[in-house]
Structure 1
Amino acid sequence: MTIAISIKVNDGIVLAADSASSMIIKNNDGSSGVINVYENGNKVANLHKDIPVGIITWGAGSIGVASTSTLIKDFRKLITEDPEHKIDPESYTVEEIAHKFFDFIYNDHYQQEFEAWESIQRPSLGFIIAGYSTGATLAEQWQIDILEGGFSHGPFISRDKEEVGATWSGAPEAISRLVLGYSENFPNVLLMSGVEPEQVGKIMRVASEVVQAPIFIPAMPIKDAIDIAHFLVDTTIKYVKYNPGPNTVGGPIEIAAITKHEGFKWITRKHYFNNDIN
């Protein structure tokens, strides 16, 4: 589990995540259990040192023996150095990078690694690739969802240039309650209460319009978007901590901001060495 958040405002995009990495054992019957939780996973990364594009990930922390963070760095090297896949910093689109990453992560790695696995055992994972295309005034974000069973959805644009707002994945319950105003399980509650299925969608649309907290404002300064991202990740960490079960969301909070002129900048991140020598 994890909490991965993207907040898009006019001034740029903020990517934030926790650092928990859970070791999960899956049984042949589809059941699973957490056997250990580490608190130093890397889920936010820069995709190219010379362009304002970053990535955030949730779900499975590895494909085979390679961690997701290592594979992201492999891709970064590929589009930086390999002549066949190299991105031109003077002429590129976020969409182009998203499709290249999908071919790399899904076709070249996920499919090959899990081809022989039973579909019920194939893990889910997802990515948001966000930033500025060449010459763009506003940022955009593209998303890739690999569902349990190995079925892929994407890359698809999840926030166009003119669209602002927040996207969160992994462990959504705390933020859904706080921002949307209702639990992720609310549609099931309606069905269990006898509400006709065709009415559930209507009720959810009305609820989202009436009770949703309007905290994501297009003109919000990037610093305020950073502060909200930290607040939402921290809230999720505490929500999971005080609920029964393992602390599958936790560890240091990592945040990066992507803006038109400053590019990808780390706001807070983990260090392997003492801060004095970083």
Structure 2
Amino acid sequence: MATDSASSFASGMVYNHSRKIVNLREGLPIGAMATGAGGIGNESIDTLLKDLRCRFNGKDAAYVNWTLDPDHYSMQDIALRVREFLFEEKSMAHGATTSTKVRLCGYSASKPLAEVWEVSLNGQACPEPVCVQNEQEFGLRWDGEYEALDRLVFGLGTRFNDFAVKHGSSAQQALELREKLVPELYELLFVEAMPMKDAIDLARFLVETTIGFVKFSVSRPKTVGGPIQIAAITKHEGFQWIQHGYSLT
């Protein structure tokens, strides 16, 4: 898991020292990573996710039933709790205007391989959590600022379809052409079960690439930047910080 530290707010402000990665249960291989709005109401996403961690740790007397049993939990159950907490409890209380996406990465109890689940708050809408990477899948996943990595990995920018239509293709033809081109242009940057150190280096490279792309782009809003944060989640070592980004001192 790797992110930059920039968070945007409805006022138009962008701050470059946000925390976007949180270990959701001390001692368990579970992490959350956020993109989008940096807060709900007057609370930051970082603070809210840590409040949720207190419940999962059994440290909130009002929510004892949210305590995670290390031997009996699933990533899906956690995703449902994250949706309930962030959307139903927090966002709805502030008019449900927040646009934030949270990726939940980790291992269900006693499972040999990791999963990635997604909770997406989009104003009044927040569908049921979806599994975006099951135990049998592996590979790169990115969100937030797509353009740099779409070009790097897929070989095509995010607006390829729009420009294909602009130059004479129908929407269906543009879609079909993209589906044909991406497999041929796709740049494979990983292999299954690659060593953790190499996975960490790759994650850092991808975030650095996105930060540099946005920084030097003349036209793009500067919504990516700040220190890089990296965490690794493994079956045996659990959640480990690799790079904090900055220290609260």
Is the shorter-chain TM-score for this pair beyond 0.5, marking a shared fold?
yes
Q: Which fold has the larger relative contact order, with Cα–Cα distance below 8 Å and residues 6 or more apart in sequence?
A: 1
Tell whether 2:193 aligns with 1:219.
Answer: yes
User: How many pairs were matched up?
Assistant: 243
Q: What corresponds to 2:101 in structure 1? A: 126
TM superposition shift of 1:93: 0.7
Using the alignment, how far apart are the partners of 2:147 and 2:231 within structure 1?
23
Whether the 8 Å contact between 1:145 and 1:152 is mirrored in structure 2 is yes
1:240 equivalent in alignment to 2:214:
yes
Aligned partners of 1:196 and 1:23: how far apart in 2?
37
Which runs of structure 1 show a deviation greater than 4 angstroms over 4 or more consecutive aligned residues?
none
TM-score, structure 2 as length reference: 0.93
Structure 2, gaps ≥5 residues long: none
- Is the contact between residue 103 and residue 117 of structure 2 (CA under 8 Å) also seen in structure 1? yes
Partners of 1:200 and 1:246 in 2: how far apart?
27
What are the superposed Cα offsets for residues 171-195 of structure 1, whole Å, 9 maximum, x if unpaired? 1111111111110010111111221
Aligned to 2:73: 92
Tell me the residue number matched to 1:254: 229
TM-score using structure 1 length: 0.84
Contact 2:101 2:118 in 1 (8 A): yes
Residue 209 of structure 2 aligns to a residue in which SS?
A: helix
Is the 8 Å Cα contact of residues 59 and 126 (structure 1) preserved in structure 2? yes
Q: Distance in 1 between matches of 2:221 and 2:164?
A: 29
1:221 CA drift (Å) = 1.2
Aligned to 2:23: 46
Show CA shifts across 1:31-90 (max 9, x none): xxx3x4322101011000121000100001010001001100111111221322111011
Q: Which amino acid aligns with 1:272?
A: L
Q: Note if 1:183 corresponds to 2:157.
A: yes
Cα distance in 1, alignment partners of residues 215 and 124 from structure 2? 30
**Cα offset for 1:246?**
4.7
5+ residue gaps, structure 1: 1-14, 26-33, 116-121, 274-278
Change (3 A) 1:23 1:124: closer
Asked if 1:108 is matched to 2:89, the reply is yes
CA distance in 1, matches of 2:171, 2:16: 41
Q: 1:259: Cα distance to partner?
A: 0.3
Post-superposition Cα deviations, 1:87-128, rounded to whole Å, max 9, x if no partner, equal: 10111111111111111111111122125xxxxxx2311011
Q: Distance in 1 between matches of 2:121 and 2:14?
A: 22
| Rounded Cα–Cα distance in structure 1 between residues aligned with 2:183 and 2:128 | 27
For 1:260 and 1:139, the matched residues in 2 are separated by 8
User: Identity of counterpart residues, as a percentage?
Assistant: 37
> Which residue among 137, 145, 160 is the counterpart of 1:171?
145
Tell me if structure 1 keeps the 8 A contact 2:9–2:39.
Answer: no
Residue 129 of structure 1 aligns to a residue whose secondary structure is strand
Q: Is the 8 A contact 2:8 2:36 kept in 1?
A: no
Q: Distance in 1 between matches of 2:49 and 2:88?
A: 14
Aligned counterpart in structure 1 of residue 2 of structure 2, from 9, 16, 20: 16
Q: Distance in 1 between matches of 2:211 and 2:74?
A: 34
Amino acid at match of 2:225: G
Q: Which amino acid aligns with 2:7?
A: S
Partner of 1:264: 239
1:141-220, aligned counterparts within 5 Å? 141-147=116-122, 149-220=123-194
Q: Please, what is the CA RMSD of the aligned residues?
A: 1.4
Instruction: Report the CA distance between 1:24 and its aligned residue.
Output: 4.0
Shift in Å, 1:21: 2.3
CA distance in structure 1 between the aligned counterparts of 2:10 and 2:78, rounded to whole angstroms:
31
Aligned to 1:4: none
